[in-house]
Structure 1
Amino acid sequence: MQNHKRQLLGAALVAVAAASVGANAFAQAYPARDVTAVIQWGAGGGTDVAMRAYAPYAEEALGKKIVLQNKPGASGAIGANFVLQQPADGYTLLMGAEPQSLFRVMGTADFDYDKFYPINIAAIANTVLLVARADAPWNTMQDLLSHVQANPNKVKQYTAGPGTVPFTVNAMIGSLTKFDTIRIPFDGDGPAIAALQGGHADIGFIASGAVIEHIKAGRLKALGVLSDKPYQGIPPMTDAPSVRNITKYLPWGSWYGVFVRKETPDDVKAKLVAAFKKAAETPKYREFMAGRGTTILNLSGAGAEQFIQRWQSTTAWLYQGAGVAKKNPAELGIARP
């Protein structure tokens, strides 16, 4: 009888040990298969360019392929909502950008980044350019302003949804001077750049990373940079007297990051954080981004959350002041900057 009890106890201990080893092995196995990453903007835009350059270095660190999918629409809400519908297991990432920070402010969705965990805020494109079709008659911001104010609602301007570069820079300029154009919406920089090159749009405010090579090749013309200092020979927008005070909103820029659902297990988050942090430290990636006027941030966890909150506060209250916010930021608990 005693032998039988000892045998049962021994079997139970073996089973517990096996279960413990199995659980640890499962945790260590991530990623056991390829990972999907949803880019919430279209091909050829700033987010797409930055994330497609970033992913291969993260693949090296993870040891698995990252399969990229573009799911544009509704200022990024379609891609973000898709990720929220997937299991919180780390196998579906969101490669997102700054507009999602303002979803609630602008009534785009009932969430922003509050339902996501920031794996890495990779970079900020704080060099924003005013670009025009190559044969446009203007060469500076002042040239364009003079024409627009003499010919309101004639110039065709690329715009996108709330929180984007073109939407936000329009709000900045509109708070300072008259700037009445025909706004043509696109799902991101890629389609807009094609429209500018094809003469279907006249101007657009776009982060330098998406357009600098087109400018160098003569396919687009740069009229100014959102700064009080020149950039690669491009004059600052503040050369135009009526927008000189735009500096009160600066520095400001679009940014790109990688996110998972907040409920994702901590050990999976940790592996992703380590992989993307290592990727952002890669000299070739840093050189690539710097060449496009983009500053590497490489922020994760609490540091990334603080960065998002600061950016959200600055931009939400800019929108409130410009009269374009759909909801008062104070009602959403967003502090003034």
Structure 2
Amino acid sequence: MMKNVLATLAVSAGTLALAAPAFAEYPERNIEGIIQWGAGGATDNVARSLTPHVEEALGTSIVLTNRPGGTGVIGMNTVLTKPANGYTVLYGAENPQLYPIMGLADFTYDDMTPINVIGQGLVVIAAPADKEWNNFGDLLEEAQANPGTLRMGGTGAGGLPSTVLAMINSVDELDVRNVTFGGDGPGITAMLGGHIDFMPLSLAAAQEHIASGRLKGLAILTKESIEELPDVPPITESLPQIESYLPWGPFWAVAVREDTPDDIVKTLSDAYEKGVANEQFQQFLSKNGAQSLNLQGEEAEQFLNRWQSVTAWALEKAGSAKVSPEEVGIPKP
């Protein structure tokens, strides 16, 4: 009798073992990487340069997809609507931190878990090479002589160009027509074709075009000249009043939905930390005038909150915020 009971238990245990799902270690399949800006822009360039090193650390492929539109809202919303299982990650820029004050969306990076704040870039105001301007002061002079006629490339409300324009207009007057594109890349293409007159850009997107002579740099959004573009003057030479906003620049980050399990977040964080630290990627950042940050966890959250505070209140001062930062709970810096 006892033998029969034991035999029955053994069969039952074996059946349960076969029926129970195997808990494979993450990741067991490819990961989708959503880039919230278009091909050829700074965020796209950073994502595609970094990802191979992260794939090596994870042991799986990350399939990159560009989802531009709405100043990055479409790409971020895509990630927020996918399951919180670590198989969809956002490659984003700084724009989500300004969505509430620009009236674009009610979510920010606070609604996600930051995996890595990769680095921070510099901004260059660029123009087609055949423009007669030699610096930003020349552009400003023409714009003030012919208000509303020059065409500036933009990426939508809360994008890098509109933020730079707001900073400029908080200390002077630059009245231009804003032509919106889905990212740095399409804007640069339009500039090369003579369809727009100038555009504030991430140095990571513009540097090679300036170095090759296809574009010219009018100003770097810094207080001093930089090694990467020694012939391009700092903006303070033409507009010293803007110094109070400097240093300022865009950043790039990787994030997942905030309710993603902790063990998956740790796996991703470790892999992206290794990827950002990779020597080849560090050379990419340096070549493009960007500062490596490689922040995770609490340090990443502190950086995101500080950047949001400084920029949101600068836009409020310039009169460019549609909603007061105070109204949406953003503290003063």
Is the TM-score greater than 0.5? yes
Give 2:305's aligned amino acid.
Answer: Q
Partner residue, 2:329:
333
Secondary structure of the residue aligned to 1:121 is strand
Partner residue, 2:234:
236
Match of residue 258, structure 2, among 259, 262, 273: 262
Secondary structure of the residue aligned to 1:228 is coil
Q: Does 1:191 align with 2:191?
A: no
Separation (CA, whole Å) in 2 of partners of 1:301 and 1:130: 33
Partner residue, 2:242:
246
Separation (CA, whole Å) in 2 of partners of 1:227 and 1:268: 38
Q: Does 1:216 align with 2:211?
A: yes
Report deviation, 1:316.
Answer: 0.9
**1:278-317 correspondence runs (5 A):** 278-317=274-313
Secondary structure of the residue aligned to 1:331 is coil
- Alignment deviations for residues 50-93 of structure 1 (CA, whole Å, 9 cap, x no partner): 11100010010011111000000000011111111111111111
Separation (CA, whole Å) in 1 of partners of 2:311 and 2:16: 53
Report deviation, 1:163.
Answer: 2.9
Secondary structure of the residue aligned to 2:72 is helix
Give 1:213's aligned amino acid.
Answer: E
Secondary structure of the residue aligned to 2:289 is coil
Secondary structure of the residue aligned to 1:238 is helix
For the Cα contact (< 8 Å) 1:164–1:254, is it kept in 2? no
Q: Does 1:163 align with 2:158?
A: yes
Separation (CA, whole Å) in 2 of partners of 1:8 and 1:84: 48
Report deviation, 1:19.
Answer: 9.4
Partner residue, 1:138:
133
**How many residues end up aligned between the 2 structures?**
330
Partner residue, 2:62:
66
For the Cα contact (< 8 Å) 1:102–1:162, is it kept in 2? no
Separation (CA, whole Å) in 2 of partners of 1:321 and 1:133: 31
Separation (CA, whole Å) in 2 of partners of 1:217 and 1:287: 19
Separation (CA, whole Å) in 2 of partners of 1:293 and 1:263: 34
Secondary structure of the residue aligned to 2:71 is helix
Q: Does 1:180 align with 2:178?
A: no
Separation (CA, whole Å) in 1 of partners of 2:3 and 2:105: 65
Separation (CA, whole Å) in 2 of partners of 1:3 and 1:105: 73
Give the gaps of 5 or more residues in structure 2. Answer: none
Secondary structure of the residue aligned to 1:335 is coil
Match of residue 145, structure 2, among 147, 150, 156: 150
For the Cα contact (< 8 Å) 2:29–2:60, is it kept in 1? yes
- Aligned-pair identity (%): 44
CA RMSD of superposed structures (Å): 1.9
Match of residue 103, structure 1, among 99, 114, 118: 99
Give 1:57's aligned amino acid.
Answer: H
Q: 1:267 to 1:140 in 2, by over 3 A?
A: same
Give 2:191's aligned amino acid.
Answer: L
Match of residue 39, structure 1, among 35, 42, 67: 35
Report deviation, 1:114.
Answer: 2.1
Separation (CA, whole Å) in 2 of partners of 1:225 and 1:2: 85
Separation (CA, whole Å) in 2 of partners of 1:296 and 1:14: 53
Separation (CA, whole Å) in 1 of partners of 2:101 and 2:196: 28
Report deviation, 1:144.
Answer: 1.2
Secondary structure of the residue aligned to 2:134 is coil
Q: 1:257 to 1:150 in 2, by over 3 A?
A: same
**1:109-124 correspondence runs (5 A):** 109-124=105-120
Match of residue 90, structure 1, among 80, 86, 95: 86
Separation (CA, whole Å) in 2 of partners of 1:124 and 1:9: 61
Give 1:105's aligned amino acid.
Answer: I
Secondary structure of the residue aligned to 1:104 is helix
Report deviation, 1:13.
Answer: 7.7
Report deviation, 1:335.
Answer: 0.7
- Which 10-residue stretch deviates more, 11-20 or 308-317? 11-20
For the Cα contact (< 8 Å) 1:98–1:163, is it kept in 2? no
Q: Which runs of 4+ in 1 moved over 3 A?
A: 1-20
For the Cα contact (< 8 Å) 2:223–2:247, is it kept in 1? no
For the Cα contact (< 8 Å) 1:131–1:222, is it kept in 2? yes
Normalising by structure 2, what TM-score? Answer: 0.94
Separation (CA, whole Å) in 2 of partners of 1:246 and 1:301: 32
Separation (CA, whole Å) in 1 of partners of 2:318 and 2:2: 83
Separation (CA, whole Å) in 2 of partners of 1:276 and 1:291: 20
Normalising by structure 1, what TM-score? Answer: 0.93
